[in-house]
Structure 1
Amino acid sequence: MDSMVAANSSFDESVSKNNSSDSSSSAAKSTTRSIHYDKVDLETFATETDKYIGKNVETSGEVAYIQKNPDNTDIYYVVILPKDDHASSGYSYGTVTEINVDTFDETNINEGDNITVKGGALTSTIKLNGKTLKSDIVVDSVSVN
């Protein structure tokens, strides 16, 4: 009986050692890949949206409008527009961004701010004030410039 207990004890130690070496070797093999974002100016993104659908994009613009998503209070819709010296309003083509409420609050975004967003490009998925929008970006990160 004592030999059986000793054998089990030595088996337990062996399993423990193998498990700890497995976890360290799998941790060493684990790598983190960074996401690549295609840098695109906002007007190009807004007018050629179909080229960017399903891709990760980075773009910048001035915040023109902010609205909390009425169907999901964890999301803010932030409309961004590029400055345009040739348009009578001073603005032209823009897009809407979907920003998580925590990210929005941490970044302190206000109308009139210039922001840079990185995220996934979509089309015709958002209805804002009764209109289906051609382009939008689900934001991974945002910074106020």
Structure 2
Amino acid sequence: MILRALRETNAKDYASEIIERVERSFRPDAVLQLIGKRTVFVAAIDGRVVGTASLDGNVVRTVFVSPDVQGQGIGKRLMATVERTARERNISTLAVPSSISAETFYAQLGFKAVRDSYHGDERTIIMERSLQDRP
């Protein structure tokens, strides 16, 4: 699911070499290691995983929604769960390293771009949102 979402959602904004490099970070063994280090949230429909998000300290990571269910509010609900968990942990600001493809999604949730980050030719937009301005 993650790899399909990565390929199909980001293909218009990133070269295939960049997508292939990022895909290597989501091999099954790599995902198992991430689960041990982060708080991971999963969305499922009829027992099928259709979305993921994780919280790593105050950083939101691995937000993916299967392309066939995008636009149905799954990503928004996952982010609400991440935010609720962050508030319970007294985290005052969330950060997210956003792909170009997801920048609008995060902006609609109140995140603001603060800087660009580059891993080789891969551009990531670092976005932040204060949790102190909303209940």
Q: Shorter-normalised TM-score: what interval?
A: under 0.3
- Which structure: greater helix fraction? 2
Larger radius of gyration: 1
TM-score, normalised on structure 2? 0.24
